[in-house]
Structure 1
Amino acid sequence: MSADDPSTILAASPAAASGLPHVVTPTAYDGILLAGFGGPEGQDEVIPFLRNVTRGRGIPDERLEEVAHHYRHFGGISPINSHNRSLKAAIEAELAARGIPLPVYWGNRNWAPFLDEAVQDAATAGDTTLLAIATSAYSSYSSCRQYREDLARVLEATGLIGTVTIDKVRQFFDHPGFVHAFSEGVTAAVKELVGDGVAADRIRVLFSTHSIPTADAQRSGPRDRDFGPGGAYAAQHEAVAGFVMAEVAEAVPAAAETGWELVYQSRSGPPTQPWLEPDVCDVIGELPSRGVDAVVIVPLGFVSDHMEVLWDLDTEAMEAAERAGIRAVRTPTPGVDPAFVSGLVDLVEERRNGTPAADRPHLTDLGPWFDVCRPACCENVRAGFTPAISGVAP
């Protein structure tokens, strides 16, 4: 199978089976599948959850406890399931308001409710043509391809290949609905700081996202395009951050003097493995020597207040700012912002209506991203390629 001669895409609807980058044939879906990461909801669930997250890597429980204390600090409860329940309800309400009679099924990669259950529930209800929305906006192995592999694994494990088809909406990093909350949040933060007398050129905006192995980053996105050393993953974040800062400067003219950069957080690999840098806390520690009095921390890589936001940003990054003696403001994630929810349903309508690529909203030159991922997109260097839905095989 190749991009020039794409054959049937695994478990795809007839419209998506051609393998073309953008599907422009309308598709009558039976249901929406909201695919989440999952998280523990009690102290007894923390280590089993982390075992699921790190399955196949042979990491002993003693090392998992080093991460577990982040969850234990909050009673062993990750906010992610609660956020996804709210997001599911908000999507259902938006679908109903538009007169779109589609049920929403929700399943997670790493903890209950699992994707297996969600897909089986859909099939039992007779909803066998599904459109997936993953709660991750950018392109990389962990944020896109792994979800696609999980869904292929679920179909195989449940024996539903040939009965259930699953397509996936495009990565929505530069969709206006996703970007809206970040633009509003940074604008409000800069306006507040300038209003309090902080000089705009002494404010630094740090756009933070989850670090990933450098080798995975370099392989993110299709291979036929050079996105730079950080691959499509870094390029997408940089492009969105640049758009946000241009919007902020329009709303707060003084912000044209405000500097910004992309930073990373939540590294979990061994010290010998290169991961994307710089780390958000390291950068905050350097800001006073760079003439910065205040920092705006933007969780650009996250759709809601995950544990990584609560711990790495609201706890560790804020402590770093306190040690550095500078003021810090953390801006909101999209969560269930009406613009974000509306944008997700817009993505559903794109696929239901077969909207041409030229008519799809996007805020950077990188979009609109693909409906069907390209060959060899977002390879996992450690594990290689395994079957995945919604993409042309490598």
Structure 2
Amino acid sequence: MRYDALLLLSFGGPEGPDDVMPFLENVTRGRGVPRARLESVAEHYHHFGGASPINRQNRELKAAIEADFAAGGLDLPVYWGNRNWDPFLADTLRQMKADGVRRAAAFVTSAYSGYSCCRQYLEDIDRARAEVEGAPEIDKLRIYFNHPGFVEPMIENTRAAYDRLPADLRAGARLVFTAHSVPFAQPGRELYVAELNDVAEVVAEGRPWELVYQSRSGPPSVPWLDPDVGDHLEKIHTDGAKAAVIVPIGFVSDHMEVKYDLDVEAAELAGRLGLRIERAATPGTHPKFVAMVRDLLLERDGTERPALGALGPRPDTCARTCCRGPK
């Protein structure tokens, strides 16, 4: 094994009401987002007591990875760092350095390609390492959107969502995949969309399906990927649909944008329309997803590189100019 640690790298989120605005200011620093917009988004967190579920989910994922490593005979410590909230990545790297870690693999809680899904995490790693003299080398593990450990839990969870519908609604239920919208001009957008379509085709298992987007945050004048999930629910209701299964295929865990944008906003809209919806769970700590992390590590030593769909496995590294964001 070429690594002496695994770094679990995630987005981060507030863990109490006092954290919400500082967290949002961290996320949007330098982007000129109006204060009123931050206050509006803050209400999403206050709806759940001021805490995002993502840090709890990452603690659970870290514990599950540690247990999987131990069961698989992999003696490797697991660290956890965030881009936007405690534990901050630079602080985690300081701890890793103090513990004698020299080279670590990073597993990022984002499955797809593109600037905000992948390249931005590489920039965060570079920035954090620059803050910590003598920081360990960090190699980001490959994109895993089509790894069976991500796709198969999505298939299981989609089947379970169909099973929760009344029997008389299942056959006609519309299958709706959702992912985080990004600006149309964002680097890597075409590859992001291609990957989403590729994995959706596998998860659909022959059913007709549609890909829509959620959680856009830019000004209305800036084009983002669409259609929006709410607009789409209104459309299929107008078309005569009685039920829909919503699958958040762009997400690894049931964090805030899943819990609020789908379980609150989309659910309330569907209720007003009289449209029955069931939302599939994300992989979270599904055993296949957890085991995938070990698979991605072992790939680096030449083991099999499985992939479902048409696009094949992504390379271990991408060009330094890939999906470059604006200055």
Same fold (TM over 0.5): yes
Contact 2:114 2:192 in 1 (8 A): yes
Matched, 1:360 2:308: no
Residue 187 of structure 1 and its aligned partner are, at CA, apart by 1.6
List, as ranges, runs of 4+ consecutive aligned residues in structure 1 with deviation greater than 3 Å: none
In structure 1, distance between residues paired with 2:309 and 2:170? 29
In structure 2, distance between residues paired with 1:199 and 1:62? 42
Alignment of 1:52-67 (within 5 A): 52-67=26-41
Contact 2:174 2:245 in 1 (8 A): yes
> Match of 2:193?
234
Residue 376 of structure 1 and its aligned partner are, at CA, apart by 2.5
> Match of 2:315?
370
Q: How many residues align?
A: 327
Residue 322 of structure 1 and its aligned partner are, at CA, apart by 1.1
Residue 124 to residue 297, structure 1, CA distance change in 2 (3 Å): same
SS in 2 for 1:214: coil
Q: 1:141 aligns with which of 115, 129, 145?
A: 115
In structure 2, distance between residues paired with 1:33 and 1:343? 15
Residue 272 of structure 1 and its aligned partner are, at CA, apart by 1.1
Residue 35 of structure 1 and its aligned partner are, at CA, apart by 0.3
> Match of 1:288?
237
SS in 2 for 1:198: helix
In structure 1, distance between residues paired with 2:9 and 2:170? 43
Alignment of 1:242-253 (within 5 A): 242-246=201-205, 249=206
> Match of 2:160?
188
In structure 2, distance between residues paired with 1:126 and 1:152? 19
Q: 1:32-81, CA deviations, whole angstroms, 9 ceiling, x for partnerless residues?
A: 01001000011111000001100111324332101100001111100000
> Match of 1:103?
77
Scaled by the length of structure 1, the TM-score of the pair is 0.81
Alignment of 1:162-177 (within 5 A): 164-177=136-149
In structure 1, distance between residues paired with 2:120 and 2:67? 28
In structure 1, distance between residues paired with 2:161 and 2:137? 44
> Match of 1:178?
150
Residue 349 to residue 312, structure 1, CA distance change in 2 (3 Å): same
In structure 2, distance between residues paired with 1:64 and 1:199? 39
> Match of 1:274?
223
Contact 1:116 1:154 in 2 (8 A): yes
In structure 1, distance between residues paired with 2:65 and 2:122? 21
State the structure with more CA Rg: 1
In structure 2, distance between residues paired with 1:59 and 1:284? 28
Q: 1:314 aligns with which of 263, 266, 269?
A: 263
In structure 1, distance between residues paired with 2:45 and 2:30? 22
Contact 1:47 1:61 in 2 (8 A): no
SS in 2 for 1:347: helix
Q: 1:341-394, CA deviations, whole angstroms, 9 ceiling, x for partnerless residues?
A: 01111111112x233xxx3100022220121112421122x32xxxxxxxxxxx
Contact 2:162 2:278 in 1 (8 A): no
Contact 1:203 1:259 in 2 (8 A): no
In structure 1, distance between residues paired with 2:94 and 2:23? 22
> Match of 1:9?
none
In structure 2, distance between residues paired with 1:122 and 1:370? 26
In structure 2, distance between residues paired with 1:305 and 1:345? 22
Residue 177 of structure 1 and its aligned partner are, at CA, apart by 0.5
Contact 2:162 2:170 in 1 (8 A): no
Which structure has more RCO (C-alpha within 8 Å, separation ≥ 6)?
A: 1
SS in 2 for 1:262: strand
> Match of 1:205?
175
Contact 2:164 2:278 in 1 (8 A): no
Q: 1:127-185, CA deviations, whole angstroms, 9 ceiling, x for partnerless residues?
A: 1111000100001111111110000001111123xx52111110110000111121011
Residue 301 to residue 199, structure 1, CA distance change in 2 (3 Å): closer
- Give the stretch that moved more between structures: 179-188 or 63-72: 179-188
Letter in 2 for 1:242: E
Q: 1:83-137, CA deviations, whole angstroms, 9 ceiling, x for partnerless residues?
A: 0000000000000111111000100000000001111111111111110001000
Residue 206 of structure 1 and its aligned partner are, at CA, apart by 0.8
Residue 291 of structure 1 and its aligned partner are, at CA, apart by 2.6
Contact 1:210 1:264 in 2 (8 A): yes
In structure 1, distance between residues paired with 2:114 and 2:240? 34
> Match of 1:300?
249
5+ long unaligned stretches in structure 2: none
In structure 2, distance between residues paired with 1:156 and 1:199? 53
In structure 2, distance between residues paired with 1:59 and 1:288? 34
5+ long unaligned stretches in structure 1: 1-26, 221-229, 250-257, 384-394
Scaled by the length of structure 2, the TM-score of the pair is 0.97
Q: CA RMSD in A?
A: 1.4
Residue 240 of structure 1 and its aligned partner are, at CA, apart by 0.4
In structure 1, distance between residues paired with 2:322 and 2:284? 28
SS in 1 for 2:251: coil
Contact 1:237 1:300 in 2 (8 A): yes
Residue 259 of structure 1 and its aligned partner are, at CA, apart by 2.5
